[in-house]
A = this chain, B = another copy of it.
Amino acid sequence: MLKNDLLLRTLRGEKTERTPVWMMRQAGRYLPEYRVLREKYGFFERCQTPELACEITIQPVDIVGVDAAILFSDILVVPQAMGLEVQLIESKGPVLPQPIQTAGDLNRVRVPDVNETLGYVFDAIRLIKQELNDRVPLIGFAGAPWTLLCYMVQGKGSKTFDEAKTFCYTQPELAHQLLQMITDTTIAYLKGQVAAGADTVQLFDSWGGLLSPQDFENISLRYIRQIVAALKDEVPTIIFAKGAWHSLDAMAATGAHGLGIDWCIHPQMARQFAGAGTSLQGNFDPAKLLSPIPVIEKEVKEMLQAFGPGRHIANLGHGILPNVPVDHAKAFVDTVKNFVY
């Protein structure tokens, strides 16, 4: 039995004493303890060594006092498991030297046995659950198929992912074949995470907001829907499709227990779009954590008031920035924990 199950109860729509709080990328560079490990080990070494992934995952629980741990990993372990080379040089962003561009390229990827290719993630989860010792729930995660396709086709980060979009618009059959392969892999991968002990899972569709509402439905949401359907009876699921505010109603209709939102939508408008039957997660501007602490406290309270009590998970609207002082992150978390409506 979890000692702190605020997050899970909020996702299930149950009453809680207060709003739960965690931060995207909370296990990351703003923590000096993380930077020590970052200097000693490469990125994939940190992901693939269960002891390191475990230590990094639990750091923010100990240091910042968040209400949930999130697995330390990266969405690009899935393209890697599917057969593509992925280089993660942290100052440069990800590089996939042989991206997918033609039907022939598709022969280079497969739907893998996740136990063989991603077993190290499941090992890490088992170790984390043991070390967490039921203090807080553990969030597993994966990238949404469209966002993974972006990297698999473009081969690197981009502001607009035009090559990925052009691939979908000019070779739709190929695109849908690839998206289905990613979807099948992701379902097996997330089921493996749940079997290993993840208490809830979040799908990151970081580039969902680059698509028109119709394309978001055709290229992204239809695959997210399959993943949520496959998982939702096992654990609560959260969809974070950054910028895709226009489809909050359709995302709620997937049966997802939670929907992430960024800071570019007013909480009340997000609630109006999403309806009453799902929890909202967000939506503090990460850059605001660089403000003086009294400003952070004031704006966090305004955010909590705008969401109102219940069905809200306090979080940032995107990942925490590496240059945020730890006491600013703590101010964010503590303001949520001490807030009374």
Contact = CB atoms under 8 A, between A and B. Distances in A.
A243 interface: yes
A246 B263 contact: no
A159 B321 CA distance: 13
A166 interface: yes
A244 B243 CA distance: 11
Contacts of A244: 264
A169 interface: yes
A211 interface: yes
Contact of A285 (B212, B246, B286, B288): B212
A233 B36 CA distance: 61
Nearest to A266: B213
Contacts of A246: 264-266, 269
A166 B290 contact: yes
A230 interface: no
Nearest to A295: B169
Interface string A13-29: 00000000000000000
Interface in A269-325: 269, 285-288, 290-292, 295, 321
B266 A162 contact: no
Contacts of A166: 287, 290-291
A211, A246, A285, A295 pick with most chain B CB within 10 angstroms? A285
A215 interface: yes
Interface string A160-181: 1010011001100000000000
B264 A170 contact: no
A211 B264 contact: yes
A209 interface: yes
